[in-house]
Structure 1
Amino acid sequence: MINSIVKTVRTVTLAGVSIAVMTAAATATERPTDLAPLGDPPIPADNPMSAEKTELGKLLFFDPRLSGNGAMPCSACHLPETGWDFPDKISLGYPGTTHWRNSPTIMNTAYYGNLFWTGVSKSLEAEARTAARGGVAGNGEDDMMETRLAFVPEYRERFKDVFGTEYPRIRDAYMAIAAFERTIIQKDTPFDNYMRGDDDALSAEQKRGMELFTGKAECSTCHSGALVSNQKYYNLGVPAYDGWETDEIAQISFRFELYAKGSTEENYRKWKDDPGLYFVTKEKADLGKFRVPSLRYTKYTAPYMHNGMLETLEDVVEFYNQGGGTNEFSKNKSKLLKPLNLNEKEKADLVAFVESFSGERFVMEVPDIPEYEPLPVETN
């Protein structure tokens, strides 16, 4: 980084005469131009925010009724006390199953253009629906979940106040959950404070890491902007999830997803790794590609990558230092990856800087879920 220069005035005495002399002094390190502090999240015109709507969405986020068996709330896979994610390589699955990908944090998902590892959902509203209905996630049916909500007097009242309907509608439930998730943001981190002018918000180690991030390590090629993600898709050579070798239930989930997403018979029997973006585009060039995740809040979201195969941030930095890895679809591996030749001190500085994208852990208490009651009997 190049230091900015300011003019300061000092007084010197020459031959008994005091003279004001302009001198140059180095000030704070320049802010990187390919990163930015986080602003307010975008709000869709068809789902405006209100305190009543987000409070309803909070209840629904923690309510297990929005699932197939009435026991799998959104919060089962997005635990506030960890990182608003699931703290294992592969996310929790619907009872009797397991998931087949790592659970991304919902922290700051309000800023994404597309949701999930392959961008299959175009909004938080669509993401809520997809998660509630996914075969190895919520496994719910809209009509059943909607009926359950109707048997809760508090929900009937809240949905009427927020959406104006006599009975809850499942579409509106997804709207409320999305509104709540837009409040799960963190834009007051050491990095943000530094970018807004607080030179002391980052340590010397973190400032050195920032120089590496935007320079020698070239992290900001893909991890850029306020979200610290260009939201594009790459194959990094992340090794296949090792649980597919030994976990029978995980093997079943993997095969189920291959079949459900339209694999050919040949590929269904041949593939031993997650095809990733291919299932969205059906283009062979997209085999093994996944979206660049934001680096915000990653201090709390281990393990990392789409299948959790990197356990710590130190592991992630070393993975990139080695030039990525190898997997079944490595012929599509990004040409951007190459050995970085970072030494131990540089790797430690880089990890320290990445941690500056996280503030204090953001947790909240689980709300009291309203109870069922019989529907009122209408009398003539």
Structure 2
Amino acid sequence: MTATDFLDHLTATLAEIEAAGLYKRERLILSPQGTHVTVGGERLLNLCANNYLGLADDPALIAAAHRALDDHGFGMASVRFICGTQDLHRALERRIAGFLGMDDSILFAACFDANGGLFEPLLGPEDAVVSDALNHASIIDGIRLCKARRYRYANSDMAGLEAQLQAARSDGARFVLIATDGVFSMDGYLARLPEITALAAKYGALTMVDDCHATGFMGPRGCGTPAHHGVRVDILTGTLGKALGGALGGYVAGPQPVIDLLRQRARPYLFSNALPPAIVAAGLAAIDIVEAADDLRERLFGNAAYWRAGLQDAGFDLLPGEHPIVPVMTGEARLAQAMAAELYRRGVFVSGFFFPVVPEGRARIRTQMNARLTREDLDFGLEAFRAAGRAAGVI
């Protein structure tokens, strides 16, 4: 086989993806991220960003980033342990830890890296990880990189979780870690943390929660799903790339020995550039806003309830839930893409979600609410959904 054969193979694979209706195309946004975006010269209502509190273009975050550019420069040109740690980095790590009620935290380039680097330093072949089947790809990849034995239970199946905990203990596991998303982002379902933490206590297991789709807007002060449920977990991972400003950066928060060992052994931390000062300073400003943002959280969940009720009245097939993620089910990938195209023509920016992001036959339009959306915005969006749904044959 030659290099030409290899490229021909890749071209054929891409053609198969296209023929199956699974090809993903990116659309160029010419404006800041917000409730409305400009694409191809058109101003569109944006209903698919992780911008839950509307902070991605917040003036306070932009001002904090500008100040950091002036005071701390553009980039670090180094990993943290060489010469990549400024006072801002440690200030944000301490601020995240205090916000979440943890001993300390450690920053990563993204939460994908945080989850990817979490398991291998902490767990060995004598240990076990028990993972929800719908966990984010980053958790799955992070678990694959460690040598611990792997156990899996069906999404939010507590009997299945208990059976796997029993199996791990029967197999002689030294330490057992339960890993779960706090919110399963494709569906908007919340993990059953009260039951998970009770089972962890019963079987002497630790708990790890990825709270990317909850930090900043769920629970008292926006402290996430453990706060929402009134429970404590051992390790929290999360992101600055969603409700906390929407830029980039992830973190692990937890007990001091966990954070200290990750600082010594977590490969994505040791071998990736430190976060730029502007991103870190904006993250600090975002947490200041979030802690006092009860008004934004109230508007966010009010918008989610209004939006969900409007879609249900229009006859769409929705997944149940209370989260600002409201998936509109289409089943087939081509139908999701046709629906997204019809909505684009009517001034609404959404994306179709389909395999391999979701299981085959479970394609959808994942809509997401934003605290800054007005009732006028939502009514416009609902009318567009009704018209697009009829045109695409979804309703």
Q: Structure 1-normalised TM-score? A: 0.26
Greater helix proportion: 2
> Which has the higher Rg, Structure 1 or Structure 2?
1
Greater strand proportion: 2
Q: Structure 2-normalised TM-score? A: 0.25
